[in-house]
Amino acid sequence: MSSLRQIEQCPVSGATGRRVDVQTVKALLTASALRRLRLVDHRFCPDPRCHVVYFGADGTTYARNDLRVPVWQKEPFGDRMVCYCFGESERGIRTELEASGHSAAVARIREHIAAGRCACELRNPQGRCCLGDVTAAVTRVTQAIDHAVRSGS
Protein backbone atom coordinates (compact mmCIF):
# COMPACT_ATOMS: atom_id res chain seq x y z
CA MET A 1 0.00 0.00 0.00
CA SER A 2 1.44 3.36 -0.89
CA SER A 3 1.23 6.39 1.30
CA LEU A 4 1.39 10.06 0.42
CA ARG A 5 3.65 10.66 3.40
CA GLN A 6 4.41 9.00 6.67
CA ILE A 7 2.18 10.30 9.45
CA GLU A 8 2.70 8.61 12.78
CA GLN A 9 1.02 11.05 15.18
CA CYS A 10 -2.70 11.66 15.40
CA PRO A 11 -3.38 15.12 13.94
CA VAL A 12 -5.77 15.90 16.82
CA SER A 13 -4.16 14.44 19.97
CA GLY A 14 -0.56 13.99 18.87
CA ALA A 15 -0.60 10.40 20.15
CA THR A 16 1.56 7.94 18.24
CA GLY A 17 -0.75 5.83 16.12
CA ARG A 18 -0.49 2.12 15.53
CA ARG A 19 -0.49 1.01 11.90
CA VAL A 20 -3.75 -0.68 10.89
CA ASP A 21 -4.40 -2.56 7.67
CA VAL A 22 -6.82 -0.83 5.33
CA GLN A 23 -8.97 -4.01 5.38
CA THR A 24 -9.68 -3.37 9.07
CA VAL A 25 -10.63 0.23 8.38
CA LYS A 26 -12.87 -0.77 5.46
CA ALA A 27 -14.59 -3.47 7.52
CA LEU A 28 -15.48 -1.13 10.37
CA LEU A 29 -16.37 2.19 8.73
CA THR A 30 -20.00 3.18 8.26
CA ALA A 31 -21.25 3.42 4.68
CA SER A 32 -20.96 7.22 4.64
CA ALA A 33 -17.42 7.18 6.06
CA LEU A 34 -16.37 4.45 3.65
CA ARG A 35 -17.15 6.80 0.76
CA ARG A 36 -14.28 9.04 1.95
CA LEU A 37 -11.72 6.24 2.22
CA ARG A 38 -8.56 6.40 0.13
CA LEU A 39 -6.14 3.50 -0.17
CA VAL A 40 -3.33 5.01 1.89
CA ASP A 41 -1.64 3.94 5.11
CA HIS A 42 -3.87 4.26 8.18
CA ARG A 43 -3.15 4.36 11.88
CA PHE A 44 -5.24 3.82 15.01
CA CYS A 45 -5.21 6.60 17.63
CA PRO A 46 -5.03 4.95 21.08
CA ASP A 47 -5.71 8.14 23.06
CA PRO A 48 -8.97 7.58 25.00
CA ARG A 49 -9.60 11.34 25.19
CA CYS A 50 -9.38 11.82 21.43
CA HIS A 51 -12.43 11.42 19.18
CA VAL A 52 -10.26 10.26 16.26
CA VAL A 53 -10.12 6.49 15.79
CA TYR A 54 -8.25 6.27 12.47
CA PHE A 55 -6.14 8.76 10.57
CA GLY A 56 -4.75 8.35 7.10
CA ALA A 57 -1.54 9.42 5.41
CA ASP A 58 -3.69 11.70 3.25
CA GLY A 59 -4.84 13.66 6.33
CA THR A 60 -8.30 12.08 6.51
CA THR A 61 -9.56 11.29 9.99
CA TYR A 62 -12.34 8.97 11.09
CA ALA A 63 -14.05 9.64 14.41
CA ARG A 64 -15.95 7.35 16.77
CA ASN A 65 -19.24 8.04 14.98
CA ASP A 66 -17.68 6.96 11.66
CA LEU A 67 -17.36 3.37 12.90
CA ARG A 68 -19.97 0.62 13.04
CA VAL A 69 -18.86 -0.49 16.51
CA PRO A 70 -17.97 1.30 19.74
CA VAL A 71 -14.21 1.42 20.25
CA TRP A 72 -12.97 -0.01 23.55
CA GLN A 73 -10.29 2.65 24.07
CA LYS A 74 -12.72 5.48 23.36
CA GLU A 75 -15.61 4.42 25.60
CA PRO A 76 -16.03 4.96 29.35
CA PHE A 77 -15.03 2.15 31.70
CA GLY A 78 -17.76 -0.25 32.79
CA ASP A 79 -19.58 -1.82 29.87
CA ARG A 80 -17.09 -1.70 27.02
CA MET A 81 -16.75 -4.47 24.47
CA VAL A 82 -13.26 -5.87 24.87
CA CYS A 83 -13.32 -8.85 22.49
CA TYR A 84 -15.08 -8.10 19.23
CA CYS A 85 -14.94 -11.68 17.94
CA PHE A 86 -16.49 -13.46 20.91
CA GLY A 87 -18.41 -10.72 22.72
CA GLU A 88 -16.40 -10.46 25.93
CA SER A 89 -17.26 -7.21 27.70
CA GLU A 90 -16.34 -5.52 30.95
CA ARG A 91 -19.91 -6.07 32.15
CA GLY A 92 -19.69 -9.81 31.46
CA ILE A 93 -16.30 -10.02 33.15
CA ARG A 94 -17.69 -8.18 36.17
CA THR A 95 -20.74 -10.45 36.39
CA GLU A 96 -18.49 -13.52 36.26
CA LEU A 97 -16.11 -12.12 38.90
CA GLU A 98 -18.95 -11.19 41.24
CA ALA A 99 -20.58 -14.62 40.87
CA SER A 100 -17.50 -16.82 41.18
CA GLY A 101 -14.52 -14.65 42.10
CA HIS A 102 -12.89 -15.62 38.80
CA SER A 103 -13.21 -14.71 35.13
CA ALA A 104 -12.53 -17.30 32.46
CA ALA A 105 -12.65 -14.71 29.65
CA VAL A 106 -8.94 -15.01 28.86
CA ALA A 107 -9.09 -18.83 28.84
CA ARG A 108 -12.16 -18.82 26.58
CA ILE A 109 -10.47 -16.51 24.09
CA ARG A 110 -7.29 -18.59 24.14
CA GLU A 111 -9.39 -21.66 23.25
CA HIS A 112 -10.95 -19.81 20.33
CA ILE A 113 -7.54 -18.60 19.14
CA ALA A 114 -6.13 -22.13 19.31
CA ALA A 115 -9.09 -23.35 17.24
CA GLY A 116 -8.46 -20.63 14.63
CA ARG A 117 -11.82 -18.94 15.17
CA CYS A 118 -10.75 -15.34 15.71
CA ALA A 119 -11.02 -12.59 13.09
CA CYS A 120 -9.33 -9.79 15.00
CA GLU A 121 -7.86 -8.22 11.87
CA LEU A 122 -11.41 -7.45 10.70
CA ARG A 123 -13.49 -7.13 13.87
CA ASN A 124 -11.19 -5.39 16.35
CA PRO A 125 -10.77 -1.67 15.56
CA GLN A 126 -7.07 -2.03 16.40
CA GLY A 127 -6.76 -4.75 13.77
CA ARG A 128 -4.94 -7.07 16.12
CA CYS A 129 -5.55 -9.67 18.81
CA CYS A 130 -7.48 -8.43 21.84
CA LEU A 131 -6.01 -10.90 24.35
CA GLY A 132 -3.80 -8.28 26.01
CA ASP A 133 -6.76 -5.90 26.29
CA VAL A 134 -8.94 -8.65 27.79
CA THR A 135 -6.25 -9.51 30.33
CA ALA A 136 -5.99 -5.82 31.25
CA ALA A 137 -9.79 -5.55 31.47
CA VAL A 138 -9.99 -8.50 33.88
CA THR A 139 -7.34 -6.84 36.06
CA ARG A 140 -9.05 -3.47 35.93
CA VAL A 141 -12.52 -4.86 36.71
CA THR A 142 -11.05 -6.92 39.57
CA GLN A 143 -9.44 -3.77 40.98
CA ALA A 144 -12.71 -1.83 40.65
CA ILE A 145 -14.60 -4.56 42.54
CA ASP A 146 -11.89 -4.69 45.24
CA HIS A 147 -11.99 -0.91 45.58
CA ALA A 148 -15.79 -0.92 45.88
CA VAL A 149 -15.62 -3.61 48.59
CA ARG A 150 -12.93 -1.71 50.53
CA SER A 151 -14.81 1.57 50.33
CA GLY A 152 -18.14 -0.06 51.21
CA SER A 153 -19.85 0.95 47.95
A 10 A CB-CB count for 125 gives: 27
Q: 3-class DSSP state for residue 79?
A: coil
- Is 50 exceeded by the pLDDT of residue 132? yes
Tell me the pLDDT tens digit for each residue of 97-112: 999 999 999 999 999 9
Fold for the domain defined by 18-66: N-terminal domain of TfIIb (2.20.25)
Per-residue model confidence (pLDDT) at position 6: 64
**Which range, of 1-10, 29-38, 59-68, 106-115, averages the lowest pLDDT?**
1-10
Q: Is the pTM of this model over 0.85?
A: yes
Identify the helix (H) or strand (E) that includes residue 98.
helix 90-100
Instruction: Please say whether the dihedral angle defined by the alpha carbons of residues 41, 109, 29 and 11, taken in this order, is positive or negative.
Output: negative
- Is 80 exceeded by the pLDDT of residue 5? no
Q: 3-class DSSP state for residue 15?
A: coil
DSSP code string of 50-76 = -SEEEEETTS-EEEGGGBSS--GGGSP
List CB contacts of 123: < 8 A, sequence separation 6 or more: 27, 28, 69, 84, 85
- Is 60 exceeded by the pLDDT of residue 17? yes
Start-to-end C-alpha separation, the chain: 52
- Is 50 exceeded by the pLDDT of residue 2? no
Per-residue model confidence (pLDDT) at position 4: 45
pLDDT, mean of residues 2-30: 88
Q: Domain limits of the chain?
A: 18-66, 74-151
Instruction: Please say whether the dihedral angle defined by the alpha carbons of residues 99, 76, 82 and 32, taken in this order, is positive or negative.
Output: positive
Query: Residue 30: phi, psi to the nearest 5?
Result: -70, 165
CA angle 37/82/116 to nearest 5° reads 85
